[in-house]
Structure formats: structure tokens, C-alpha cells
């Protein structure tokens, strides 16, 4: 298997500059949340020159670069842009494209056959097209694994098929795009205000959390369907940035589920949608911790929530 990585090194910063072009050339950093304990998620070239980097706390970033402009994180917008570019490549070149993170795509080179004559020609053409579609800088790299391809793209080095030390025997293939969701059905004996209902919902959501954590994924949409006996009612919550912790879904259930105490069964179906990678590029943490802003930057709140779910699960 040969994979091409399209890497957009300043994607989130360039998206921010679309909305604030007057900041071009300034030192800019994006923050996962307001406050001194927020984490830097992306930096401009000038900010990087002042020692700022992804994963740094806001207080330290401000100390190093007092003139830096801090803006809200825009990981959701980055995923939207990458998904838009991926959909164009699927229509024009190959269906085997996937979003790998907040800054890069992977394309199965072998699936394009001889359409471009060679790997180098295919890489060059997709680089030109992706750059034109996005209006942003893009680098390319190839490898037998996602890690090798991304490392080559980050270095801006492209080489034809050769051994890169990657173990592609265990590398999952790039699959055709399918809109995936995660769902769980919950039966409550009465509304959310009834005794034990919150714990029942927490146990069910703990199963979804385990899947998210195992896949290192996050979600950007929650769909709640509630049937209290008088017909189903559905509501959808969409989030600006990815969310890695299912406590957001629990809050949505509490906000929209019936509050009856009559003891009649209430059917609730929770669906997590618009799934995306849950590890921030350049940051080692996973979806539910500091990796994505929606997951909560500090580990404390998430840890307490997981403890509550584990206690509820017995």
C-alpha cells in the first residue's frame, strides 16, 4: 500500500486570517478555551519564532510573546475545510481519501492506477489542485504507512516508491467514505428526574465513550430522540468544535428528555454524528483530554465524569 499525505501546515491560522485579514503578519495563537490555563492549539510563523508551540498553556505563551494576538480555536472549521477538499478529490480522482487530523488528508496512491503516469505526477497534481481549492499552502509526502507519509509531508519531501521502514502489514487501508455514527438506546423508568435515570443514561454513554477513546475519535453532533409514550421527539445539537467527552450528550439528554415521574418507560436514543479524528495535530493528548477543545482542556472535569460513570456502571 502506498499513501499520499496532503499536509496543510498553517491551516487553522490561515482559516483565522480569512476572518481577520488585518492580522496578517502578526504573531497569532489559537487557544482551546479562554483563560490562563487554556492550551495553544496552533500558532503563526511569527509566533513560532517567538517560541510559542501547540500544547503550551496560555500563561506561558503570553509571557514569551506579550504582543501575540490570541483567538479561539477553530478545529471544527479545519475539519470542515479538509472534508470539503476530500470530497472534491473523491469525485475527481479516487474515492479512497480520509481526513487524518486537523491539518492533513491521506489518499491511496495505488487506487489511482496510471491516471497520472507516476506517483510523483499524481502527488504534484493533487498538491496543485488542493492548494487551488483551499487557497492555502500544502505539502505532500508518500509512504507505506500513514505515519511515514505524514512525516515525509511535514518535511516537504516526496520520493517515489521505496522502503521507508513502515510496517504496512498492519496498516488499515483507506476505505471509501461512509458517514459513520455511534448510537445507543436507553430505556428510562420515568423521566430524567426519576430516581436512577441519570445513572442509567451515564452507563449507556460510558459504552460510547469507550468506543470513542478506543478509536481516538470525537464528535460534532448529538441527535437525541425521546419517546415518552406520545410519539417520538427529536432534537439535534451541533458544535462548532469537536467534542471528545460524552458528558455533553448527557447534558443534552437532561435538557430534552421528559421530566415525568409517572414511572412509564421512556425510550431515548442517542446518536453521535459528524465523527472526526480525536487527537490534535502536534498535541499528544487524546480526544477526551487536552487534545480537542470540546473534550475539556483540564483532565479534572473529565476524570470526575468518568469516575461517576464507572461508579454508576457498578
For the residues 102-111, what does the mean pLDDT come to? Answer: 94
DSSP class of residue 136 equals S
The CATH label, of 1.25.40.10, 3.50.50.60, 3.90.650.10, 3.30.1490.100, for the domain at 182-313 is: 3.30.1490.100
pLDDT at 286 over 60: no
Sign, CA dihedral 203-207-208-212, equals positive
Identify the pLDDT of residue 75: 94
Write the pLDDT tens digit of every residue in 121-171.
999 999 999 989 888 889 999 999 999 999 999 998 887 665 555 556 678
Identify the pLDDT of residue 306: 41
Q: Where in the chain is the domain with CATH 3.40.1170.60?
A: 1-176
Distance CA 254, CA 81 (A): 32
Write the pLDDT tens digit of every residue in 212-259.
999 999 999 999 998 877 778 899 999 999 999 999 999 888 887 665
Instruction: For the domain covering 1-176, report its CATH number.
Output: 3.40.1170.60
Identify the pLDDT of residue 301: 39
Identify the pLDDT of residue 259: 59
Q: What are phi and psi of 137, to 5 degrees?
A: -70, 145
Q: Give the long-range contacts of residues 123-129, CB within 8 A, separation 24 or more.
A: 123/4, 123/158, 126/4, 126/6, 126/89, 126/93, 127/6, 129/88, 129/89, 129/92
For the residues 172-199, what does the mean pLDDT come to? Answer: 86
Q: Where in the chain is the domain with CATH 3.30.1490.100?
A: 182-313
pLDDT at 302 over 80: no
182's enclosing H/E stretch is: strand 182-189
pLDDT at 43 over 60: yes
Identify the pLDDT of residue 222: 95
Q: What percent of the chain has pLDDT over 90?
A: 59
Mean pLDDT taken over the chain? 84
Identify the pLDDT of residue 59: 96
pLDDT at 60 over 60: yes
Using alpha carbons only, how large is the chain's radius of gyration in Å?
22
Nearest to 12 by CA among 228, 175, 242: 242
Distance CA 90, CA 251 (A): 36
Residue 287 pLDDT class (50, 70, 90 cuts): very low
Does 175 or 62 have the greater pLDDT score?
62
Identify the pLDDT of residue 168: 63
Amino acid at each position: 500500500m502506498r499513501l499520499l499525505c496532503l499536509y496543510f501546515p498553517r491551516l487553522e491560522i490561515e482559516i483565522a486570517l480569512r476572518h481577520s485579514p488585518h492580522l496578517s503578519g502578526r504573531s497569532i495563537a489559537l487557544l482551546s478555551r479562554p483563560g490562563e490555563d487554556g492550551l495553544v492549539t496552533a500558532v503563526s510563523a511569527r509566533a513560532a519564532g517567538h517560541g510559542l508551540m501547540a500544547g503550551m498553556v496560555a500563561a506561558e505563551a503570553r509571557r514569551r510573546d506579550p504582543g501575540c494576538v490570541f483567538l479561539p480555536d477553530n478545529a471544527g472549521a479545519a475539519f470542515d475545510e479538509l472534508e470539503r477538499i476530500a470530497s472534491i478529490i473523491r469525485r475527481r480522482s479516487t474515492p479512497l481519501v480520509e481526513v487524518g487530523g486537523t491539518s492533513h488528508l491521506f489518499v491511496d496512491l495505488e487506487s489511482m492506477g496510471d491516471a497520472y503516469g507516476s506517483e510523483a505526477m499524481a502527488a504534484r497534481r493533487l498538491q496543485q489542485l488542493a492548494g487551488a481549492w483551499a487557497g492555502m499552502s500544502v505539502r505532500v509526502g508518500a509512504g507505506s504507512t500513514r505515519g511515514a507519509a505524514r512525516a515525509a509531508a511535514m518535511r516537504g519531501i516526496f520520493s517515489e516508491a521505496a522502503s521507508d521502514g513502515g510496517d504496512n502489514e498492519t496498516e488499515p487501508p483507506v476505505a471509501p467514505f461512509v458517514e459513520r455514527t455511534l448510537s445507543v438506546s436507553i430505556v428510562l423508568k420515568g423521566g430524567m428526574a426519576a430516581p436512577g435515570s441519570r445513572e442509567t443514561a451515564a452507563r449507556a454513554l460510558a459504552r460510547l465513550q469507550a468506543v470513542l477513546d478506543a478509536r481516538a475519535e470525537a464528535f460534532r453532533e448529538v441527535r437525541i430522540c425521546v419517546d415518552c409514550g406520545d410519539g417520538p421527539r427529536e432534537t439535534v445539537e451541533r458544535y462548532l468544535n469537536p467534542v471528545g467527552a460524552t458528558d455533553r450528550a448527557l447534558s443534552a439528554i437532561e435538557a430534552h428528555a421528559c421530566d415525568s415521574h409517572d414511572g412509564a418507560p421512556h425510550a431515548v436514543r442517542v446518536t453521535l454524528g459528524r465523527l472526526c479524528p480525536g487527537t490534535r495535530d502536534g498535541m499528544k493528548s487524546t480526544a477526551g483530554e487536552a487534545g480537542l477543545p470540546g473534550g475539556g482542556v483540564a483532565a479534572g472535569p473529565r476524570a470526575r465524569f468518568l469516575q461517576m460513570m464507572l461508579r454508576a456502571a457498578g
